[in-house]
Structure 1
Amino acid sequence: MADDLAAYRRKRDTDRSGEPSGRGSGGSEDGPVFVVQRHDASSLHFDFRLEIGGTLVSWAVPKGPSLDPRDKRLATRTEDHPLDYADFEGRIDQGYGAGTVVVWDTGHLENLTEKDGAPLALEDALAGGHLKVALHGQKLTGAFALTHTKMGGDDSNWLLVKVDDEGADRRRKPAKTQPESVLSGRTNEDLEE
């Protein structure tokens, strides 16, 4: 798994940024976690991260996750992050990703991916370009699907879509109306101050 974090370490000086180095264990004994961090950097976006194979596999979602199954959100695959990044909040003063980060939502995830009626491991689903997970968070609940697409000829582009289930809500827009951290109650603006 150390190789999975090579790009993460290459892009940042964790001593200066205050971000986790990835040398700690992180993770949870209760099963795999997900985290969505609201990241106000050169532009505001949401970092959608799923624990897969010992790291947080990550996508940048400019508009944030939607609870409306009609919405297809662009999710651009970024470098894997260490598990101890899951509770990182703070201000990155300079360098890659400079800006503020809060934990917008977090909880456990459940793999719902199947192939030919049989469960498919998340590592295999990721490699195959389609995965489906149930999220058990405070703002996000129910199933979400991520599908690899080469929109615009960009191999890093995926689509994030809410599955139409009991967690779906066409009216509630948490990405717009609930900017605060589920851990600290702070917003990105609070960290700027």
Structure 2
Amino acid sequence: MKTYQEKRHFDKTPEPPWRDDQDKGQHRFVVQKHQAAHLHYDFRLEIGGVLQSWAVPKGPPLKPGVRRLAIKVEDHPVDYIDFAGEIPQGEYGAGSVEIWDKGEFDLKRESTDIVEFSLRGKKLSGSYALIHTADKNWLFIRRKEV
């Protein structure tokens, strides 16, 4: 929360500030296509009253067995799940943000090194995992269905 707040000037950016009274306990996800300095996709899972977040440079894996680098970034407020718009030049993450996919998920397993879940979105559905490899680096994997 603190890192998120410190990186933004809410009098200049349309991004939502952190609120203590946000909805909690839902299992929603969002993928935001973010055209900043470099195009990437932000993958966010609602867990524990925050959006745990990863930047995915090449986009989420669509086919079973595909692995993508996912870089852990600061948690975002739950209200960010609906954010789409333009972050002004000079602000952190400046550029356009659009919702690429959104839906619900079932959390299968969560620890410090692995998050396993099933997604139910319009573009992403099925079994996935995020596996911590080093520092802020994770692998975002589309699992093969059994």
User: What TM-score comes out, normalization by structure 1 length?
Assistant: 0.71
Q: For each residue in 1:43-72, what CA deviation from the matched residue of structure 2 results, as whole angstroms up to 9, or x when unmatched?
A: 000000001111000000000011222321
Structure 2 residue runs of 5 or longer lacking an equivalent are none
Conserved in 2, the CA contact under 8 Å of 1:22 and 1:85?
Answer: no
Moved over 3 A (4+): 24-29
CA pair 100-18 structure 1, distance change in 2 beyond 3 A? same
Aligned partner of 1:23 in structure 2 is 19
Higher-Rg structure is 1
What is the aligned-residue identity percentage? Answer: 48
Between Structure 1 and Structure 2, how many residues are aligned? 145
Aligned partner of 2:96 in structure 1 is 100
Output aligned runs, 1:90-129, within 5 Å: 90-94=85-89, 95-113=91-109, 122=110, 125=111, 127=112, 129=113
User: Please, which of 65, 68, 71 is the counterpart of residue 70 of structure 1?
Assistant: 65
Structure 1 residue runs of 5 or longer lacking an equivalent are 114-121, 167-193
User: What TM-score comes out, normalization by structure 2 length?
Assistant: 0.93
More helix by share: 1
CA RMSD of aligned residues (A): 1.5
CA pair 24-105 structure 1, distance change in 2 beyond 3 A? farther
